[in-house]
């Protein structure tokens, strides 16, 4: 006997959407920035802000089945990325201090603009986090659950004030195999904390307009990870400390993390110069009396054992690479931000 399914709008309670800007808007389009902000930064950011990187839908249900009906913008497939990372969803079971992967939603890549996909969840009440595509743009979404199933709000995040991550394609999530494997998602599950992913592939250049927008956000910490997108060392030097000062003026007390690129080449003069610029930016802040600014050396992310397995193309991390990034960045965040949490 076929199960009866009732479809719900995830923009309405008891569903909660995290990591996106104004997700309850009536147009049904999911975005990471206001339209006017994205267009004011650059044409590149304007082409990427509708990608739902970091978007999460949280809810609780005893439904044994879940179906998603997704409308996504047409995409040009990237040779080094999976269709699931670009336009798909995955889901986690949360609770008891840990989250467990339940599955990903399989769809036909030949007709992936609009699709329907289902997953068996099993019996019992479940608290769930549905991760949205990292590079796809979602223009419509419905969530189908068993008719008569209980549907309630997910328990709140233990740490509800988000960490803001700003940076490159690596920050956005290329090339995790699925949405829940970008490094911020690992960190979020580890500490049960909210986050905002403002990674803009190839287009995070520390512009003043995006800096001033981010400075207005409510945040518990800020992570600056845009080394890769600064077009040259002069640009990085001219913008890196300016970004810090703009954020710090609005958030004088939060931890501020400066990260250098993960695919560091010890034989590259440019890589060495870029890391030195970021280190000097950190030292300038520290010498000025800021005791809550931190430098994270990206060369430490991919340890020498299996270093080659940490990227897919010498630059963008594999799932292993993202896991190692999450370990190092997560440890730094934990030591500074969550050190007083008795449950960690």
Per-residue pLDDT tens for 191-204? 999 999 999 999 99
Q: What is the mean pLDDT of residues 253-280?
A: 94
Task: Name the pLDDT band for 140 (thresholds 50, 70, 90).
Answer: very high
Which domain, by its residues, includes 236? Answer: 159-337
Does one domain contain both 135 and 195? no
Q: Are 78 and 86 in contact (CB under 8 A)?
A: yes
343 within some domain: no
Q: Which of 179, 144, 172 is nearest to 70 (CA)?
A: 144
When the pLDDT of each residue in the chain is averaged and rounded to a whole number, the result is: 93
**CATH code at 23?**
2.60.120.260
Q: Which of 156, 208, 151, 162 is nearest to 187 (CA)?
A: 162
Task: Spell 228-254 as b/e; 16+ CB within 10 A means b.
Answer: bbbeeeeebbebbbebbebbbeebeeb
Q: Does residue 213 carry a pLDDT above 70?
A: yes
Q: Does residue 1 carry a pLDDT above 50?
A: no
**CATH code at 310?**
3.40.50.1110
Q: Does residue 232 carry a pLDDT above 90?
A: yes
Angle made by CA atoms 16, 197, 73, in degrees to the nearest 5: 75
Q: Does residue 248 carry a pLDDT above 50?
A: yes
For strand 5-8 and strand 138-146, is the pairing parallel, antiparallel, or unpaired? antiparallel
Does one domain contain both 178 and 312? yes
Domain stops at, among 135, 152, 169: 152
Does one domain contain both 331 and 194? yes
Does one domain contain both 143 and 28? yes
Q: Is the pTM of this model over 0.85?
A: yes
Using CA atoms in the order 165, 168, 173, 176, what is the torsion angle rounded to 10 degrees?
A: -140
Does one domain contain both 110 and 203? no
Does one domain contain both 294 and 182? yes
Does one domain contain both 126 and 169? no
CA-to-CA distance for 95 and 196, rounded, in angstroms? 21
63 Cβ neighbours under 8 A, 6+ residues apart: 121, 145, 146, 149, 150, 151
Q: Of the ranges 164-178, 224-238, 282-296, 297-311, which one carries the lowest mean pLDDT score?
A: 297-311
Task: Name the pLDDT band for 76 (thresholds 50, 70, 90).
Answer: low
Domain stops at, among 126, 152, 178: 152
342 within some domain: no
Percent of the chain with pLDDT over 90: 81
Q: What is the mean pLDDT of residues 42-68?
A: 97
Domain stops at, among 152, 179, 194: 152
Q: What is the mean pLDDT of residues 28-51?
A: 96
107 Cβ neighbours under 8 A, 6+ residues apart: 70, 83, 87, 88, 115, 116, 117
Task: Name the pLDDT band for 112 (thresholds 50, 70, 90).
Answer: low
340 Cβ neighbours under 8 A, 6+ residues apart: none
Does one domain contain both 273 and 322? yes
């Amino acid at each position: 006997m076929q199960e009866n399914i009732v479809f719900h709008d995830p923009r309405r309670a008891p569903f909660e959407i995290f990591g996106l800007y104004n997700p309850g808007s009536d147009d049904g389009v999911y975005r990471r920035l206001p339209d006017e902000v994205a267009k004011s930064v650059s044409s590149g950011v304007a082409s990427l802000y509708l990608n739902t990187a970091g978007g999460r839908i949280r809810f609780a249900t005893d439904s044994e089945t879940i179906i998603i009906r997704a409308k996504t913008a047409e995409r040009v497939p990237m040779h080094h990325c999976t269709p699931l990372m670009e336009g798909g969803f995955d889901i986690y079971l949360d609770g008891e201090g840990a989250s467990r992967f339940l599955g990903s939603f399989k769809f036909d890549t030949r007709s992936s603009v609009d699709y329907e996909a289902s997953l068996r969840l099993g019996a019992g009440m479940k608290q769930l986090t549905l991760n949205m595509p990292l590079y796809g743009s979602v223009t419509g979404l419905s969530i189908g659950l068993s008719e008569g199933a209980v549907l309630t709000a997910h328990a709140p995040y233990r740490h509800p004030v988000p960490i803001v991550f700003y940076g490159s394609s690596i920050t956005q999530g290329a090339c995790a195999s699925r949405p829940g494997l970008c490094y911020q998602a690992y960190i979020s599950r580890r500490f049960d904390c909210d986050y905002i992913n403002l990674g803009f592939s190839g287009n995070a250049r520390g512009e003043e307009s995006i800096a001033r927008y981010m400075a207005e956000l409510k945040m518990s910490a800020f992570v600056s990870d845009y080394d890769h997108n600064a077009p040259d060392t002069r640009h990085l030097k001219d913008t890196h400390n300016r970004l810090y000062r703009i954020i710090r003026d609005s958030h004088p007390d939060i931890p501020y993390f400066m990260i250098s690129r993960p695919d560091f080449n010890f034989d590259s003069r440019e890589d060495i110069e870029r890391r030195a610029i970021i280190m000097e930016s950190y030292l300038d802040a520290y010498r000025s009396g800021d005791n809550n600014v931190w430098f994270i050396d990206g060369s430490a992310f991919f340890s020498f054992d299996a270093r080659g397995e940490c990227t897919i193309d010498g630059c963008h991390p594999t799932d292993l690479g993202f896991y190692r990034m999450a370990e190092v960045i997560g440890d730094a965040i934990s030591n500074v931000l969550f050190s007083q949490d008795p449950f960690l």
